[in-house]
Every structure is written in structure tokens, then in C-alpha cells.
Structure 1
Amino acid sequence: MRIPARHLTCVAPAHTGGLLALCALDPVSGVCLAQQVGRWRSWNDGDVVALGRPARPAGAAWATGSLLPFGLAPRPGLGHDGAARRQVQALAEHAGARLTRNGSVYGPAADVAAVWPHLADCGLRSREERWVQPLLVAPQETGALIRDAVRRHPAVGWAAESLHAATLGEEELVLPASIDMFTGEVGYDPTSAGGAYARHVNWLVAARRSYIVVDDGEGHPPLPGGPRRVAFKVDVGALWNPVPGREGGVAQLTGVWTRSDLRGRGLASVALAAAIEAVRARHVGARGTVSLYVNDFNTAALGLYGRLGFERAGTFATVLL
């Protein structure tokens, strides 16, 4: 499909400066798109588009099997006017032909809300719409978080020391946990569509971005040579430093999961507090921002994040196709 002039422009990997400047207006919300365009050295023509001029886009998107828009809606407090209606329509026409079954439209809720009606006009139908996904930011005092969590749940205090970035060779432990997390969250087994999901999990492990706690299968530290299972996991799903070389990157956690037989024991509180500290130490620096988003109907998760002192920074939305 030819992209209409003036409305959309294909962005090449060497010309992402304007797009990244757009994301930098709100790095906590923009980290997802910034991560996508920074992860690959090349992509197919039309995978990344700018609404308007690439040097100063009115909006932008990653448009492959899923659509990740950013900047479509105005941000008056940030001096951003948003995209024109015809530009958003052009994005919908372009992305509609690329979206796949079991894909999604996700990102800041206002941007998803701007483009979804036009996608629906193009004939797309949703499997589920999640319009209120609070975007939360972790507190800075991580050391105190760990101490408080261990004090409240001393029986699982060992999890704080056990948490580590999964290493090569642990992929076979991580994959079943990741599949269980994804299936429970999205509603289908991601490996049923081929090997892409397993490759993604392997990439996270190779990049030292999948953090796990391993137990003996019964909620205790594993013994040498004994059984080992993943008790808790969380991934650094998106990572970006808006000002390279300066401390203060942004990480977005995804895939937070606790094995079902261990829920309600406080293990997630201890392990997640340790994970936040580990992500700051390894990825974003002491002044960095660690965020995540959660479904508003997931009361257990909201309770966990509230007890750990997460504060709301915005709203995401996801339309499942």
C-alpha cells in the first residue's frame, strides 16, 4: 500500500532522531516505541512511520504484526499538538493491512484511542479491549523496599538473595514460566503460532534481561543437584536511555509472574523489590526510572505494587486482535 504523501513517512534506522525526540517528551510512556526502533539495525520498509515530517513528527508508530503508536494525541503540557485526523486515518490504513491475528494495538491510552476507531472503520475487530492499564513508577528507595519486604515476609527472605538475571543454559527453566505468564495474561499459548515467542524468551535471557528466582519446586531454596523450578520471574521488556552517556535511563518491566502454588506468601514482594534494585544497578543507574503497566482488573497485582510504593504516571491501553 502506498503511503499518502504529507501524512505518513517511512523512517529508516539512520533517521530516527526526530522520532526519538518525540518519545523523549515523555520517556516513561515513550520507552516502548524507543526500544522497538533501537533494537534492530534494520527493518522492512514501512515498519516504522512518522506522521508528518520525520525530523519533527506529529506522531509515530511501529507497525508490524502489532501496532505501537505514540504521540497521536496532544500533550499540551509538553508542547505537543498531536496528529491531524487525516494523518491518523493514514496510519490506520497503513497498519490495518499489516496487523495479524493475535496481534494487538498497545501504548499510551490516548494514542490507542485516537487510532482504534479508524482501524475499526478499516474492518478490524477486537478480541478484547483493555482501556485502563495504570502506568506505574517504582520508588527510588529500593534498599528500603527490600528490607521492608523481608521484614514482612521473613520466610521468603531468601528470594531477595536468590534473584538473578537468568543465564545461558537456564532458558529451559524460563520458557515454561514465560508461557504460563503469557497464556494467563493474553489467553492463548504463544508457542502455538511457531517459534517466535521462544526466540524472544531466549533473546531476553541472552541480553540478561530476564530476572528469576529459582526454588526446589516446593517454595524453598534449591539444594545442589536437586530439583529446580522458576518460582518468580520478571523481564525488562523495554529499555532506553534518552540521553546516552548520562545516568537516568528508563526501564519498563513486563511479564511479572509468580508460580501459582507460591502466591499469597509474600514472595513476589521480596523478589520484585530485589528486581527493581537489580535493574537499576545493571540497566538504568541509581537515578533511573523503573516502570510497568497493569490491568485495572488485576486487583492482586495492584495491591502488590501499591504496597511496594509504586505511583501512577499515566495510563496504557491494549486492544487484543
Structure 2
Amino acid sequence: MSFLRHRDRGRVQRGADRLTPVPSDQVSGVMSLCALEPVSAVGLVQQMQRWSRWGRGDVVALGGLAHPIAAAWAVGSLMPFGLAGRSEHGLRAADSGEIWALAEHARPRLSRRGSVSGPAQDVAAVWGALSEQGQRSRHERWRQPVLTAPHMGGGLVSAYLGRRSSQAWVVQAVRPARPDEEELVLPASVDMFVGELGYDPTADGLGYRRHVSWLIEQGRSYIVLDDGAGHPIRPGSPREVAFKADVGALWRSPSGGVAQLTGVWTRPDLRGRGVGAAALAGVVDAVYRDHVGADGVVSLYVNDYNAAALALYQSLGFRQVGLFATVLL
């Protein structure tokens, strides 16, 4: 069935009227909307907080600027939040005219290797309109469980080492990468990206390198270095990245700090040896300590077909709190 039936097409203009560009100095309405579900909305908030200014239409609100029902980042990629409605918060779903207007606004702004990503129900709400307007996907990932790390009084590391004390050197080696280690971190980040998205991000220019550099400068790229063979570094030994994970999104929401881990990667020769689990336990504890506080939330999302990653997260006590989707363009 056509996304927008003939009798609905008269609603498009009214939908467009309610598609409001959000100036960078008038974000309070969108931020209040995102605060209703901070774990689900942290990616959108991260985009808004990273830039002090943006172009007209880069961020848009549906339903008005002061009290929007939904919002989206629309530069290169589309990151919607709220389109499907949140009845538990008294928010209606966007109507077909509003969704059509958002798709029409966003489609010319999408890059060749962009994406549509966010809460699965919101991505599904807009993808039909984008498809009908001619947008094609490279790959669609409709089930990406959103997981949150456990709060443990003694820390996740203590609980993990109680079962795997042989990995103590790994958790002791977890730390933020230093700026002078960018050349070590970049190849690991690229390998993670290629494995996840299927192409080398450095082939498109310096943008990805700048992103890696920014994460390191912000103290948000955590690493474990080893001697290249799965052992601690000793004087004179080589140094390689054994594990890395980034705090890809971060927000001090009204209800507490929220961090979303991205780029979780274990060097292929070390997979299945407990290094990834030990290192991730150390990263979670470090992110609570360094970024979100004891009352915060550390989250991540994972493809449902990645059985190894899901098993790792479950072994550490992560629990599912939502569902994301990503459509790769």
C-alpha cells in the first residue's frame, strides 16, 4: 500500500507547516522532549551539543518549537526521535503529512553513505515515506537491542574478576587514549568501522580521522594496549591496541548522566579469550567514574545477529531496555 494514500495528500502542506527549523539557541523544547527517554535520545542530543551553531533546517521539530512531539537531526544522516508517539508521556504520533514533510526535507540532505538511525519505531515511521520518495538502502538493520550496563556497588570489574582473575592485567590496562597515541588507535577504529559498515571511512577524506582525534582529545576513547601477542606491555616490547571502545554520545540529562558506548572492538586474534569482556568491564567502570557518575546510565546497542557480542554483554549483566534500527544508505 502506498505510504501516503491519495486522500491524505492534502495533509502534506499542513504537515510542512509544522516542520519547524530549530535554531541552535532555541533548543529547550527539543531537549525537554529528549529528556523523556534520555537513553533513546542521547544520540540526537549529542549531535546538538557537539555544535554550537548549525544551518537552518539541520535540526527540525514537529508539532511546534516550544513543545514538539518529535525532532530530528538531518545533516548527512537522519536521526529521528518521537515520530511514532509516546502515549506513556501523552505525546501523539506524527501524522502522515508531518512524516511525509520530514522525509521530503531530509532526503536531499542525506549523504551517499549516510544512515537513518534511532529508536526502531521512529525509523520505521519515516522510512516508508523516504522509500516512496525514491530513497534506497544499502542494508537495513531493524533489530538492534539497546542495552544498559548494571549498577554494581563494587564495580563491574570486581564482579568479573571474581570469575576470571587471569584477566586482571587487562582491566588494569584500561585507560583513555592519549593524543600522542592517535596513530595506534586509528587503525583499530578503521578496522572496527570496516567490519561494521563494510567500507573504509578514511577513503572519503579526513572526516573520520578528525572524529577519532576529537574522541581522544575529549577523553572518550578507551583502550587496552598489549605486546601484540595478548600479554602485558613490558619495557622494550611492541605496543598494539588489543581493545577499544568510545563514548560516542554523552549527555548530562535532567535525570542524570547518560553515555552511549560505540566502536567496541577487540583485536581479532584475541577474540574468544576473555579479553573483550574484561576490558569492557573496565571501560564501563571508567565511564561511570569519569563521565556519568554513580547515578548515571551506560548504554550501547548491538545488531541482533551478532551472537558473540550479545553473549558477551549478557555475561556482564547488561539488560535490554529498548530497540534501535539503522538503515544504511
What TM-score do you get using the length of structure 1 for normalisation? 0.96
- For residues 264-315 of structure 1, what are the alpha-carbon distances to aligned partners after superposition, in whole Å with 9 as ceiling and x for unaligned? 1101111111111100111100110000000000000000000000111100
User: In the alignment, is the contact (CA less than 8 A) between 1:166 and 1:210 conserved in 2?
Assistant: yes
Following TM superposition, where does structure 1 have runs of at least 4 consecutive aligned residues deviating by more than 4 angstroms? 2-5
Give the counterpart letter for 1:31 in structure 2.
V
CA–CA distance in structure 2, aligned partners of residues 143 and 269 of structure 1:
17
CA–CA distance in structure 2, aligned partners of residues 4 and 194 of structure 1:
37
Q: Residues 142 and 113 of structure 1: is their aligned pair in 2 closer, same or farther, counting only changes over 3 Å? A: farther
Deviation at 1:218, TM superposition (A): 0.5
Q: Residues 135 and 148 of structure 1: is their aligned pair in 2 closer, same or farther, counting only changes over 3 Å? A: same
> What's the % identity of the aligned pairs?
58
1:59 aligns with 2:70: yes
Given the alignment, which residue of 298, 310, 317 partners 1:302? 310
Aligned residue for 1:134?
145
SS at match of 1:170: helix
CA–CA distance in structure 2, aligned partners of residues 292 and 224 of structure 1:
35
User: In the alignment, is the contact (CA less than 8 A) between 2:14 and 2:97 conserved in 1?
Assistant: no
CA–CA distance in structure 2, aligned partners of residues 144 and 58 of structure 1:
38
User: In the alignment, is the contact (CA less than 8 A) between 1:6 and 1:53 conserved in 2?
Assistant: no
Given the alignment, which residue of 165, 172, 180 partners 1:169? 180
User: In the alignment, is the contact (CA less than 8 A) between 1:215 and 1:221 conserved in 2?
Assistant: yes
CA–CA distance in structure 2, aligned partners of residues 309 and 239 of structure 1:
21
Aligned residue for 1:26?
37
CA–CA distance in structure 1, aligned partners of residues 227 and 283 of structure 2:
20
Question: Could you tell which deviates more after superposition, 276-285 or 2-11?
Answer: 2-11
Aligned residue for 1:198?
209
Aligned residue for 2:242?
231
Q: Unmatched 5+ residue regions in structure 1?
A: none
SS at match of 2:298: strand
What TM-score do you get using the length of structure 2 for normalisation? 0.93
CA–CA distance in structure 1, aligned partners of residues 244 and 85 of structure 2:
36
Deviation at 1:5, TM superposition (A): 5.0
Deviation at 1:263, TM superposition (A): 0.4
CA–CA distance in structure 1, aligned partners of residues 160 and 16 of structure 2:
55
Count residues with an aligned counterpart.
317
Q: Unmatched 5+ residue regions in structure 2?
A: 1-12
CA–CA distance in structure 1, aligned partners of residues 176 and 14 of structure 2:
42
Q: Residues 142 and 97 of structure 1: is their aligned pair in 2 closer, same or farther, counting only changes over 3 Å? A: farther
CA–CA distance in structure 2, aligned partners of residues 206 and 127 of structure 1:
32
SS at match of 2:36: coil
SS at match of 1:61: strand
User: In the alignment, is the contact (CA less than 8 A) between 1:138 and 1:291 conserved in 2?
Assistant: yes
1:213 aligns with 2:212: no
Aligned residue for 1:317?
325
Question: Could you tell which deviates more after superposition, 82-91 or 181-190?
Answer: 82-91
CA–CA distance in structure 1, aligned partners of residues 290 and 239 of structure 2:
25
CA–CA distance in structure 2, aligned partners of residues 70 and 228 of structure 1:
42
Aligned residue for 1:286?
294
CA–CA distance in structure 2, aligned partners of residues 184 and 157 of structure 1:
28
Aligned residue for 1:103?
114
Q: Residues 144 and 279 of structure 1: is their aligned pair in 2 closer, same or farther, counting only changes over 3 Å? A: closer
1:143 aligns with 2:151: no
